[in-house]
């Protein structure tokens, strides 16, 4: 099996409220978000496209899940808390790294687990930003 099942793709789409494209053995989620970046006396509004993908689906339904999420520095703590506090534990091979600049944080996450679990955890973290 190389791509997500139709059922798994539908769950991912529902959890993340985003478009899902399947091509060349990879499932890509098209999720964007409006961000307002304040700098001195100015406000910049931009639409950020997050990179979320699922590939190398195994027979047991697990896959290599990847995401690069862009956050404002003040959003990072609540996003990360919700990500780590999700009711399904992170897999032991989970990797995370971030790149920080004064106005935006890029959080990269990678795991091998059921794509539905990864998407549900990611949705919970996004929801924490809206609370």
Domain that holds residue 84: 6-130
- Tell me if 11 is assigned to some domain: yes
Q: How many structural domains does the chain have?
A: 1
- Tell me if 82 is assigned to some domain: yes
pLDDT at residue 67, as a whole number: 97
pLDDT at residue 42, as a whole number: 85
pLDDT digits (tens, 9 = 90+) for 13-28: 999 999 999 888 889 9
Mean pLDDT by 10 residues, the chain (131 residues): 82 93 88 85 88 92 95 94 96 95 93 96 95 72
* Start-to-end C-alpha separation, the chain: 38
Output the domain CATH number for residue 98: 3.90.1150
- Tell me if 1 is assigned to some domain: no
Instruction: Give 28-36's long-range contacts (Cβ < 8 A, gap of 24+).
Output: 28/52, 28/53, 29/53, 29/54, 29/119, 33/70, 33/126, 35/70, 35/72, 35/104
């Amino acid at each position: 099996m190389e791509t997500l099942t139709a059922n798994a793709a539908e769950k991912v789409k529902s959890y993340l409220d985003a478009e899902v494209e399947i091509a060349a053995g990879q499932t890509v989620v098209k999720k964007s978000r409006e961000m307002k970046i304040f700098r001195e006396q100015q406000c910049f509004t931009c639409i950020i496209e997050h990179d979320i993908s699922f590939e190398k689906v195994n027979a047991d339904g697990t896959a290599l899940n990847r995401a690069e999420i862009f956050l404002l520095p003040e959003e990072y703590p609540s996003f990360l808390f919700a990500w780590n506090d999700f009711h399904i534990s992170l897999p032991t091979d989970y990797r995370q790294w971030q790149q920080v600049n004064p106005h935006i944080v890029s959080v990269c996450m990678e795991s091998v687990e059921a794509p539905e679990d990864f998407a549900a955890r990611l949705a919970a973290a996004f929801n924490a930003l809206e609370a």
